[in-house]
C-alpha cells in the first residue's frame, strides 16, 4: 500500500497534464462531419466538411466564411469531401489542394484537385490526379506537402483488399506527385505515383523533420501508426499489425515489410494525426497527437529521441466530445480537434459537429519558466539519456532516491546554458527498481517516479 500511495503522489510530478487538467473551449458548432482542419496563413482555421463545403473559421469568434461548395462531391458512408492541404508558400502560390469522391454513372471515383484562392473564394479548379477507384468505405484520404514540394496522398483499398499489393492499382497506397500533378522522377516505381504499398485505409498523415507518420485503420484488430518510407511494403492484407504469426513472418521477410511503431487491439479507429513540437503543453513535446473515432478520444504518443519509437501512451477527453476525426496544431502550439458525430456512425449531440480547442488548464512550471524534461528510455537501460529544456541558464543535478527517501546516486552536470540539452546517464551500478528522480535547477527541484531496469 505504501508503494501505491507513493506512485499516486509523485508519478509524473512536475510535467503531468492529466485529462482533467485540459480545458475545452468550443470554437464553433453546427458543422457536418468536418474532415480536415488546418491552420491557415491568415490565422484562421481552414476546414472541409464531408458533404462538400470548404470554409475559413475564425479561431476566437467562430465566424465561418464559406469559400467553396463542391457540387459534384458524392457523400455516402465514408466517401465525400476529404483531405486538404495549403501550399507552404501561400502568399506567392495561393493554392489549395483537396481530395474528394464523385460518381461517374454508378461508379465511385476519387480525385485530387488544386484550387486558387482569390477574393475570399476558391476558383480555377485543376485536376491533378483522377479516377482513383473509390467506395463507400476505405477511401483514405489525407494530403501532405513535403519540404521538397511534393504531395503525399493516402488512399484506401476501396474495400478490395488485394488492391493494396497490386502495383497496377492506386488503392491501398501512399502516392507522391508534384504540385502540378506530374510524377516525380525519383518515385520508386516509375512512372507510377506509388510511394508505398500495402495499406488498408490510412486516414492520418503528418511530417516532422525527416520522418513521415501515418495512422491506419485495421480490420477487427491491429490499428497502426506507421513511419512511411520510399518504396516500402506495409503488409496489408497478409500482415495486420506486427509480423507475429508464421504466415506474416514469412511474408514480411520476403517483402521487407515495415512494422508499425504502435498498434491497437481492440481497435480504436485512428484518424487525424499531428506532430507536437511546442512548449505550450509541455508534456506533449516530441509526441504524436492522434484522434480516434471508435475510441472517442485524443491519444498522445510520446516518442524517444530518434522519434522512431513510442515511449508512452496517454489518453485525453475520452467520450467527452464523441467521435474525433481531425486534429490541428497552430504554429504556436494551440491544439484544435473536430468531432465526427454526424458521420452516420456517431450519436449527434446538441450543436454537433463542432471544433474544440484543447488547452492546459494548469501548469506545474513556475511562472516565467518553460521547463520540459524526460528520459529517453523508461525504464532506464544501463546507458540512457535525459532531455531537459532549460527556461534559463542554471546548474543541473539529477539525484535518485529510493522510495524511503534515501539518496542512491547523483549526476552533477554543472552550469548549463538556456535551451534544449541532452545528458548521458550511466546506471550500470544502480540496482533495478523504482526511484524518485529529482531534477535540481539551482534552488528549484522537480520530481517524478522513475524505473531502472537491466
Residues contacting residue 256 through CB under 8 Å, at least 6 positions apart? 232, 233
Residues 246-275, mean pLDDT to the nearest whole number: 97
Measured distance between the N- and C-terminal CA atoms of the chain, rounded to whole angstroms = 25
Instruction: Give backbone dihedrals phi and psi of 436, rounded to 5 degrees, phi first.
Output: -95, 115
- Contact between residue 403 and residue 6 where contact means Cβ atoms under 8 Å apart: yes
CATH of domain 372-452: 2.60.40.1930
Give CA angle at 153 (148, 156), nearest 5°.
155
| Span of 24-28, 40-44, 289-293, 438-442 with lowest mean pLDDT | 438-442
User: What is the rounded CA–CA span in Å between residue 334 and residue 9?
Assistant: 29
Reported confidence tier of residue 432, pLDDT bands at 50, 70, 90: confident
The x, y and z cell numbers of residue 282, run together, are 509541455
User: What is the rounded CA–CA span in Å between residue 199 and residue 220?
Assistant: 15
Residue spans per domain, the chain:
21-360, 372-452
What's the pLDDT tens digit per position in 398-431?
A: 988 877 777 888 899 988 888 888 999 988 888 8
| Span of 77-86, 168-177, 261-270, 434-443 with lowest mean pLDDT | 434-443
Helix (H) or strand (E) holding 248: helix 246-255
- With b for 16 or more beta-carbon neighbours within 10 A and e for fewer, the 22-51 pattern comes to beeeebbeebbbbbbbbbbbeebbbbbbbe
Q: Report, at the CATH architecture level, how domain 21-360 is classified.
A: 6 Propeller (2.120)
| Span of 155-159, 256-260, 308-312, 363-367 with lowest mean pLDDT | 363-367
pTM above threshold 0.85: no
Q: Nearest to residue 328, comparing CAs of 34, 117, 5, 32?
A: 34
Amino acid at each position: 500500500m505504501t508503494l501505491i500511495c507513493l506512485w499516486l503522489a509523485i508519478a509524473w510530478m512536475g510535467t503531468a497534464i492529466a485529462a482533467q487538467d485540459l480545458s475545452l473551449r468550443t470554437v464553433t458548432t453546427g458543422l457536418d462531419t468536418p474532415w480536415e482542419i488546418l491552420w491557415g496563413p491568415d490565422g484562421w482555421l481552414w476546414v472541409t466538411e464531408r458533404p462538400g463545403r470548404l470554409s475559413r473559421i475564425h479561431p476566437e469568434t467562430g465566424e465561418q466564411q464559406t469559400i467553396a461548395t463542391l457540387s459534384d462531391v458524392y457523400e455516402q458512408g465514408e466517401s465525400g469531401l476529404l483531405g486538404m492541404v495549403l501550399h507552404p508558400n501561400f502568399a506567392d502560390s495561393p493554392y489549395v489542394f483537396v481530395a474528394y469522391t464523385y460518381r461517374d454513372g454508378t461508379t465511385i471515383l476519387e480525385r485530387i484537385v488544386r484550387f486558387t484562392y482569390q477574393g475570399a473564394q476558391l476558383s480555377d479548379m485543376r485536376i491533378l490526379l483522377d479516377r482513383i477507384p473509390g467506395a463507400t468505405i476505405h477511401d483514405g484520404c489525407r494530403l501532405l506537402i513535403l519540404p521538397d514540394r511534393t504531395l503525399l496522398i493516402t488512399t484506401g483499398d476501396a474495400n478490395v483488399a488485394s488492391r493494396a499489393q497490386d502495383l497496377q492499382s492506386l488503392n491501398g497506397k501512399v502516392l507522391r506527385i508534384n504540385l502540378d500533378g506530374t510524377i516525380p522522377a525519383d518515385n520508386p516505381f516509375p512512372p507510377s505515383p506509388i510511394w508505398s504499398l500495402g495499406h488498408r485505409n490510412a486516414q492520418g498523415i503528418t511530417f516532422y523533420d525527416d520522418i513521415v507518420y501515418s495512422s491506419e485503420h485495421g480490420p477487427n484488430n491491429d490499428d497502426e501508426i506507421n513511419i512511411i518510407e520510399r518504396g516500402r511494403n506495409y503488409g496489408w492484407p497478409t500482415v495486420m499489425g506486427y509480423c507475429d504469426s508464421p504466415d506474416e513472418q514469412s511474408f514480411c521477410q520476403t517483402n521487407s515489410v515495415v512494422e508499425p511503431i504502435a498498434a491497437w487491439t481492440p481497435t480504436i479507429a485512428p484518424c487525424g494525426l499531428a506532430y507536437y513540437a511546442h512548449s505550450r503543453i509541455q508534456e506533449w513535446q516530441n509526441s504524436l497527437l492522434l484522434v480516434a473515432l471508435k475510441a472517442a478520444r485524443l491519444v498522445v504518443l510520446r516518442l524517444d529521441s530518434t522519434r522512431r519509437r513510442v515511449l508512452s501512451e496517454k489518453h485525453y477527453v475520452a467520450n467527452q466530445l464523441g467521435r474525433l476525426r481531425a486534429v490541428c496544431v497552430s504554429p504556436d502550439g494551440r491544439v484544435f480537434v473536430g468531432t465526427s458525430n454526424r458521420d452516420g456512425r456517431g450519436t449527434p449531440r446538441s450543436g454537433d459537429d463542432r471544433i474544440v480547442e484543447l488547452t492546459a488548464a494548469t501548469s506545474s512550471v513556475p511562472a516565467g519558466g518553460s521547463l520540459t524534461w524526460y528520459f529517453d528510455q523508461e525504464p532506464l537501460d544501463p546507458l540512457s539519456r535525459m532531455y531537459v529544456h532549460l527556461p534559463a541558464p542554471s546548474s543541473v543535478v539529477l539525484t535518485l532516491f529510493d522510495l524511503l527517501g534515501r539518496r542512491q546516486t547523483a549526476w552533477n552536470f554543472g552550469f548549463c546554458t538556456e535551451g534544449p540539452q541532452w545528458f548521458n546517464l550511466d546506471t550500470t551500478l544502480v540496482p533495478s527498481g523504482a526511484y524518485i528522480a529529482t531534477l535540481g535547477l539551482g534552488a528549484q527541484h522537480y520530481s517524478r517516479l522513475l524505473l531502472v531496469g537491466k
